[in-house]
Structure 1
Amino acid sequence: MNIVITGISGFVGQNLSAYLKEQNYFLSELSLRNEWKLKKEADAVIHLAGKAHDTANTSEDEEYFKINTELTKKLFDEFLQSEIKDFIFFSSVKASADTVEGILDEDHISNPQTPYGKSKFLAEQYLLSKELPEDKRLFIIRPCMIHGPGNKGNLNLLYKIVEKGIPWPLASFHNQRSFLSIDNLNFLILQILENENIKSGIYNFADDEFISTNQLIKIISQISGIKCRLWNVPAGLISSVARLGDIIKMPLNSERLKKLTESYAVSNKKIKSALNIINLPVSAEEGLIKTIKSFQSK
């Protein structure tokens, strides 16, 4: 099977392309940076390229819409004019919601608040507004936080904090978060490509279990051989300090506290039901252990 893939140089692109090659897929990279033309004799397009969420908020809003929305529209229009059967667009759970009450599933009414989430959601809306020929399929993938060996995201930052023996003072806050190991992501994409009975639609990608920040710190401590230092400072006191940080410049403010302690639980039941499976190959804890162990070799 011939696959066109955009964003192949990114973390997901590198891992997914290597995995698909091991499964005897032929991949061709498509760069959307300059002039480009879609290879129309391929079997599927996997659209990974995009402007990632800038947590430092230094990016111009229009940059998200130019890359995440407009380029996706153009690529999808080319796909509709081709003989290619499948279009797999990597959106984000942030296209649905920035904060979650309960468990996020695909039926949630989308209400993104950030330029990143809005740009992904507008792209989704455009794809869904087009009439899809009967012989084609469209998959809108909404992954939660992806991790794996070689990833340099928030997990690596938390690992460094624990490794230095710095106590975690927010243990009194209890949350539940979803993660997505790169191994489970690769598995799910392969199943979509190989199973023609899976219907077009929006699918959340997440590991099976939810993990709390306190659990994550315990896992990191165990792997690192460092004593787990969870401090149960009263939540009310922490919140008061954060509110003070809203007034005067401090490392902790209300927004940062929310990001560190909020829950973001994502359901993966729809994709598992489509595949008729009970569990993904890798548990949430197994995937996190594999990622965290990779930090030790750096």
Structure 2
Amino acid sequence: MNAPKVLVTGANGFVGEALVFRLLVDNKFIPIAAARGATRFHGLCPVVPFNLTHAKVLSALDDVQVVIHTAARVHVMNETAVDALAEFRKVNVEGTLKLARCAAASGVKRFIFISSIKVNGESTPPGKPFKADDHPNPLDPYGVSKYEAEEALKKLGHDTGMEVVIIRPPLVYGPGVKANFLSMLRWLNKGIPLPFGSIRNQRSLVAIGNLTSLVATCIDHPAAANQIFLASDGEDLSTTQLLRRLAKALDKPVRLLPIPEWLLKLAAAILGKQAFAQRICGSLQVDINKNRELLGWTPPINTDKAMGETVGHYLEKQTK
């Protein structure tokens, strides 16, 4: 019997690329890399051009059993669009639904949508994590667009019989991570003193290896059908703890100044950086008990190992 074909969109992105490599290594499925522009997968697996904004989404869904949709207009820190929500909807809602309709019409059995924890909201009280089946509360255009895409996919699944699986990760890190996590690595590697030595928040993160493990489990697990799952490493850290763990992995002395949280928040408010203060000082925890109960899934990689892999890749890039 031939291995099932799994199409992965956004195969050039951080999550999509890691997923394709995972499927290649697992050798249980035949991955098809759907990517915009050049890709590293030529010669390793089938590759198809893909752009969510094109009128004709895809013509390579024949014999594909599962679609894993990671492509998206991602959250950006300094949004420049006049109507950000309209721009997010164009890609994350309209483009996603266009792809899903093509998938359903082609007989795709399961559609796995990589959404975002922002569908649940922006923060949690310490010790009261988000759960997969909580009432959604998206607060920014990116989160709203992901929620609207989820709702459209669930309706399409109901109407067509195509199974829909939704996975909402928080911050994803791992080898090749960019954005704020990369900035933290750079600060720590340079030994820059940071005013984050007294932060007692709790935040869930998910290593790319743990996220790809969860997604791979959802490809063919019967209990995953038409479910929503949250993703995390199963260990929550304060910002201070995170920086200390990364510094240890870097083998660098950590220089964290014990500035009170209230003072950081006041300074951020004065500078118009409230969103930055929320990310640094606020809590955002997720509960993954549903994953354990329904799928028998627990994160296979512990936080220290995942951080060590992330740091190792970062240091390797610095020497080239």
TM-score normalised over the length of structure 2? 0.85
Q: Does 1:27 align with 2:31?
A: yes
**Residue among 275, 280, 290 paired with 2:299:** 280
| 1:151-173 superposed Cα distances (whole Å, 9 cap, x missing partner) | 22322100111122122213222
User: Counterpart in 2 of 1:93?
Assistant: 117
Distance 1:205 1:191 in 2: 12
CA contact (8 A) 1:48 1:90 kept: yes
Shift of 1:133: 6.8
Is the CA contact (8 Å cut-off) linking 2:67 and 2:111 kept in structure 1?
yes
How much identity, in percent, do the aligned residues show?
29
Whichever residue aligns with residue 293 of structure 1, its letter is G
Alignment match, 2:258: 232
**Contact kept in structure 2, 1:40 and 1:79, CA below 8 Å:** no
Q: Residues 165-244 of structure 1: matches in 2 within 5 Å?
A: 165-244=191-270
Shift of the 207–125 alpha-carbon distance from structure 1 to 2, 3 Å rule, reads: same
- Can you give the 5+ residue segments of structure 2 that lack an aligned partner in the other structure? 35-49
Question: Hey, what does 2:64 align to over in structure 1?
Answer: 42
Give the root-mean-square deviation of aligned CA atoms. 2.0
SS of the residue 1:297 aligns to = helix
Q: Hey, what does 1:116 align to over in structure 2?
A: 142
Letter in structure 1 aligned against 2:66: A
Structure-1-length-normalised TM-score = 0.90
Q: Match for 1:55 among 66, 77, 81? A: 77
Q: Secondary structure at the match of 1:159?
A: helix
What is the SS of the residue equivalent to 2:138?
coil
Which segment is superposed worse, 216-225 or 172-181?
216-225
Partners of 1:124 and 1:135 in 2: CA distance: 16
Asked if residue 146 in structure 1 is aligned to residue 172 in structure 2, the reply is yes
Quick check: 1:21–1:27 contact (8 Å CA) kept in 2? Answer: yes
> Which 4+ runs in 1 deviate beyond 6 A?
none
C-alpha offsets along residues 181-206 of structure 1, whole Å, 9 cap, x if unaligned?
A: 11111211221223234332111111
> 2 CA distance for matches of 1:268 and 1:170?
28
> Is contact 2:157-2:163 (8 Å) kept?
no
How many residues are matched? 291
Q: Does the Cα contact within 8 Å between 1:210 and 1:284 map onto a contact in 2?
A: no
The answer to whether the 8 Å contact 1:38/1:79 transfers is: no
CA apart distance, 1:293: 2.1
SS of equivalent to 1:208 = coil
Please show how residues 154-165 of structure 1 align to structure 2 within 5 Å.
Answer: 154-165=180-191
2:158: which partner in 1?
Answer: 132
Deviation, 1:135, is: 6.2
Deviations 1:72-117 (CA, angstroms, capped at 9, x unpaired):
1112222222322111011111122122232111122112111111
Of the candidates 272, 292, 296, which is equivalent to residue 311 of structure 2? 292
* 1:15 aligned residue: 18
> Which amino acid is the alignment partner of residue 294 of structure 1?
H
Preserved contact between residue 201 and residue 238 of structure 2 (Cα < 8 Å): yes
Contact 1:91–1:120 (CA<8 Å) still a contact in 2? Answer: yes
Q: State whether residues 249 and 307 of structure 2, in contact with CA within 8 Å, keep that contact through their aligned partners in structure 1.
A: no
Task: Give per-residue Cα distances to partners, 1:98-151, cap 9 Å, x unaligned.
Answer: 222321111221121111111111011111223537964210111111111112
Please name the residue that 2:106 is paired with: 82
Going from structure 1 to structure 2, the CA distance change for 1:82 and 1:230 (only over 3 Å counts) comes to: same
- Residue 67 of structure 1 deviates from its aligned partner by 0.2
Question: Contact between 1:156 and 1:292, CA under 8 Å: does it hold in 2?
Answer: no
Give the Cα–Cα distance (whole angstroms) in 2 for the partners of residues 258 and 146 of structure 1. Answer: 18
Letter in 2 for 1:29: A
Q: Quick check: 1:258 aligned with 2:278?
A: yes
Structure 1, unaligned stretches of length 5 or more? 247-252
For the residue of structure 2 that corresponds to 1:89, the secondary structure is strand
Letter in 2 for 1:96: N
Deviates more, 1:157-166 or 1:33-42: 33-42
